[in-house]
Structure 1
Amino acid sequence: MGDIFAVTNQKGGVGKTTTTVNLAASLADYGKKVLLIDLDPQGNATTGCGLDKNEIENSSYEVIMAEARAADAIIRPEEIGFDVMPTNADLTAAEVELLESKLREHRLRIALESTREKYDYILIDCPPSLSMLTVNALVASQGVLIPIQCEYYALEGLSSLLRTIERVKQRANPTLDVTGLLRTMFDARNNLANEVSRQLISHFEGKVFHSIIPRNVRLAEAPSHGLPVLNYDRASRGSIAYMALASEFMRRQKQSAK
């Protein structure tokens, strides 16, 4: 049965969607069966996988609102080696509708019960806010991967997210844990980035991935072509970094399973 991971950070622009798409592609390249769930109403992961948001028949909105089965919303885009549950702007309405729904925090977990066995890994791209959609992702997940940009306000926003994860763990999902913190858009020439990186390692010993995602133009270009960077430019620094992350990610899961 596949493990489910929420990729989240309440701060936008930290490489959350980039990480979800490219980690999914890298895990698939290692031969793993992967499902990416786009739970961000902006739908950037959907378009980044080459799908047209306007032509989606069933999306994560229909799934989370129990209007469609998960299997009916899953698509295998051309050219990439993993499945996608896409989304579109309809998901914005779910924020309000879930507030009045029964089992509102558990909708996604229930919907995925019949699908988990088909995959090795399920990655959820969360919205950049601590919303009911994000809570659904956390309740459904075993682990949380937190992309973080090494800048001034990074630790402040992280503290709030970690408090939310702890509350979800106490009230709704006792198996939830932080899988790791991923340093993204990293520039080793930047003194502040290096200092924040040292603080992260000091505060969260053992939780910070050794793999670091650098600033890379190919990573920025790939979504406009509807491709993960692995498919766009396999030899790029960004592609190599995400393949290294996937390898480390799998090793960590094996160690935690022992």
Structure 2
Amino acid sequence: MGVTRVLAVANQKGGVAKTTTVASLGAALAQAGKKVLLVDLDPQGCLTFSLGQDPDRLGVSVHEVLLGQADIKEALVTTAEGLTLLPANIDLAGAEAMLLMRAGREYALKRALESLGDEFDVVIIDCPPSLGVLTLNGLTAADSVMVPLQCETLAHRGVGQFLRTVTDVQQITNPGLTLLGALPTLYDSRTTHSRDVLLDVADRYELPVLAPPIPRTVRFAEASASGASVLAGRKNKGALAYQELAQSLVKHWKSGKAMPTFAPPVD
């Protein structure tokens, strides 16, 4: 693909399978032959834990990298799935306060990633469920952003506020940021309710809803608890959906054409 693609996965609401999406999409892209770096920007370290690393036993983490106390290469670890991870732990909560006092604070991650050159084909950033300086770092470093969205009535509360943040970033720190759309997660195809929520989101926010929707599957919970991605199961519906999404992303990056949508964007 030549140039490194940087994708932020972000939503200020928790519980939307954001970390599952980052881990499983990363694993699917690695399976497709891409060199993938995953970045954990959440002080809770859920991505770090789900990829088999103990957040409490990290020597160097994204915390030191953002504050300029360590080179990014010192912090990178390789996971069992053939992915590279920039891990996080609770120390990162302190970095947010320290970054706020610095000029150019939104660019800390972007600078660190640029120092890697073209070492990776794809970087996927797991942003924390907030609109603070860590999420701004993720959005400023990315060239595109995807918004995982749970298919429930109240799940899209806050989407409007998040989209305004994306617009602010596009106007101030990252004019090249592209909003790919909302990714439906925890989708139950047996109910019309899930479908109605997606159509409402597409209509209300004029936001493309990406296909395929990621189905609700018990393997999500099992995979996170065991320190493996959903793709470890390979044949389950969740894995197949993420593999299809990965293929759509690669085609989008190659052609520049819009990704397939569940509901067409509103004109």
- TM-score, structure 2 as length reference: 0.92
Given that residues 22 and 124 in structure 2 are in contact (C-alpha distance below 8 angstroms), is that contact kept between their aligned partners in structure 1?
yes
Structure 1 residues 116 and 209, CA gap change in structure 2 (3 angstroms) = farther
Taking the aligned partners of 2:10 and 2:78, their CA distance within structure 1 comes to 23
| 8 A Cα contact 1:211 1:248, kept in partner | no
Q: Which residue of 1 aligns with 2:22?
A: 20
Q: Distance in 2 between matches of 1:28 and 1:165?
A: 28
More displaced stretch, 246-255 vs 13-22: 246-255
Count residues with an aligned counterpart.
256
Partner of 1:188, secondary structure, is coil
How well do the aligned residues superpose, as a CA RMSD in angstroms?
A: 1.6
Give the equivalent residue in structure 2 for 1:119.
Answer: 120
Counterpart in the other structure of 1:190:
191
Residue type of the partner of 2:77? I
Residue of structure 2 in register with 1:148 after alignment: 149
Q: Tell me, what secondary structure is at the counterpart of 1:28?
A: helix
For residues 26 and 204 of structure 2, the distance between their equivalents in structure 1, rounded to whole angstroms, comes to 28
Measured after TM superposition, the shift of residue 155 of structure 1 is: 3.5
> 1:247 corresponds to which residue?
247
Aligned to 1:227: 228
Q: Is the Cα contact below 8 Å between 1:4 and 1:140 reproduced in 2?
A: yes
Aligned to 1:237: 237
TM-score normalised to structure 1 length: 0.95
Whichever residue aligns with residue 51 of structure 1, its letter is Q
Could you tell me whether the CA contact under 8 Å between 1:43 and 1:89 is conserved in 2? yes
Q: Are residues 204 and 27 of structure 1, via their aligned partners in 2, closer, same or farther at CA, if it must alter by over 3 Å? A: farther
Unaligned runs of 5+ in 1: none
CA distance in 2, matches of 1:247, 1:181: 17
Structure 2: gaps spanning 5 or more residues: 259-267
Tell me by how many angstroms 1:205 deviates. Answer: 6.3
- Cα distance in 2, alignment partners of residues 161 and 251 from structure 1: 27
The Cα offsets for residues 39-68 of structure 1, whole Å up to 9 and x where unpaired, read as 000100001101111221110101111111
Which amino acid letter does the alignment assign opposite residue 21 of structure 2?
Answer: T
Letter of the aligned partner of 1:9 in structure 2? N
